[in-house]
Amino acid sequence: MRLVKLMIPMVLATAILGCSGTKQHKDASWTQKPASMNVLFTEPVVLNKEKDSEDSKEWTVFPWFYTSVNDASEMSTFSEKTVDSRDTLMMSENMEKMKEWFSSNVDNTLKFNSNVHYKLDGISKDRVTYSVEVLDGDSLRVPKPVSMSDGAEVYFVLDSIEMKSYQNLNLYNSGLSTPAFPIPVMGYRTNNCVKISASYAFYDAKAGKRMDFGRLDEDQCSKERVIEHDWVNVLRELILHMIEKTPIAQF
């Protein structure tokens, strides 16, 4: 059953469909393609546990006041509904084993967009250490593997991976104006969105030198119901933005 949240702050009406946030450092001296690469990632975390800040243009899909769009009586009474976890997170059953799902889709992206032989592994948080760097005036927590062997020339580590679904409202012209009343009549459309964020860094394994690093987020919104393919698209774009303009990209 499709659910719509009621009593939405008006500030949400101007939300933008699809955007990405970027904080990246690109190392201009990294120009040589490595012969091999180890790709490491920590366990992705699914958010959607609490409401976003009051001034945010998005809200997580979480049960406060929900009502069925198919029941007019419920629409008028603002019935409170409990939403099951799959509705709340807008995730398919195929994504229940999140680590395997994430690994498979990162692998598919690199397979067709990288020109380097690589190995992909999920690791625990205790195998990652951090440094704090200032990038564009903001402090950024940069991940680094605790150890790097000489079995690969480059290490690519992804950490603090966050996944969430949310909804926003889009203001649009409903087309209900008439010659007698030519002022456009504006309406609101609910958009379903998914977002994935992650910190990342590339390292020269032999020298221990950090090269590219940053924190990126990608999101996608549409009026259609969220399906697994939406999550796949967002994750793909996230990985592509991490590897673009590096020697490992083949695009």
CA atoms within 13 A on the CB side of 130: 14
Phi, psi of 107 (to 5 degrees): -60, -45
- Predicted TM-score (pTM) of the model is 0.75
Domain boundaries, the chain: 12-243
pLDDT confidence band for 178 (50 / 70 / 90) = low
Least confident among 6-20, 159-173, 218-232: 6-20
pLDDT tens digits, one per residue of 85-112: 444 457 888 888 999 999 999 999 999 9
Phi, psi of 113 (to 5 degrees): -130, 0
Tell me how far apart the alpha carbons of residues 201 and 129 are, in angstroms, rounded to a whole number.
12
Quick one: which H or E segment has residue 234? helix 228-243
Least confident among 48-52, 59-63, 187-191: 59-63
pLDDT confidence band for 82 (50 / 70 / 90) = very low
pLDDT at 11 over 60: no
Q: What pLDDT does 238 receive?
A: 98
SS3 155: strand
- What one-character DSSP code corresponds to residue 75? H
* Cβ-based neighbours of 125, under 8 Å, separated by 6 or more: 42, 43, 159
pLDDT at 68 over 70: no
User: Between 236 and 57, whose confidence is greater?
Assistant: 236
User: Between 190 and 70, whose confidence is greater?
Assistant: 190
Q: What pLDDT does 79 receive?
A: 32
pLDDT tens digits, one per residue of 114-128: 999 999 999 999 999
pLDDT confidence band for 189 (50 / 70 / 90) = confident
Q: Indicate the average pLDDT of the chain.
A: 78
Q: What pLDDT does 21 receive?
A: 61
pLDDT at 48 over 70: no
